[in-house]
């Protein structure tokens, strides 16, 4: 999907939450977006039109095991 300057899109942040971003500019397939107080440059494949669409793609994310991990646990 092509976004224009001033549009709102959604991005998956750290693979765990969906955040709204504001499109600042577009050059080719790269977009400059405002997220919070800062701005980042992302590919068009990381942007979604709706929050629900972003959450659907996030459902396949594998949960990492938390807590103590032995250095010999590399095969898990």
Q: Which long-range contacts (CB under 8 A, 24 or more apart) does 52-56 make?
A: 53/10, 54/10, 54/11, 54/12, 54/18, 55/18
Asked if 26 and 5 touch (Cβ cutoff 8 Å), the reply is: yes
pLDDT digits (tens, 9 = 90+) for 20-69: 999 999 999 999 999 989 999 999 999 999 999 998 887 655 556 677 77
Looking at residue 19, its pLDDT comes to 95
Reported pTM: 0.74
Query: How are strands ordered across the β-sheet holding 8-13?
Result: 38-43, 30-35, 17-27, 8-13, 47-48
Number of H helices, E strands in the chain: 1, 5
């Amino acid at each position: 999907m092509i976004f224009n300057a001033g549009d709102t899109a959604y991005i998956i942040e750290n693979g765990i939450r969906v955040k709204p971003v504001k499109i600042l500019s577009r050059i080719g397939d790269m977009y400059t977006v405002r997220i919070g107080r800062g701005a980042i440059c992302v590919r068009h494949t990381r942007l979604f039109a709706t929050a629900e669409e972003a959450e659907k793609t996030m459902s396949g994310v594998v949960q990492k095991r938390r807590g103590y991990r032995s250095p010999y646990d590399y095969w898990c």
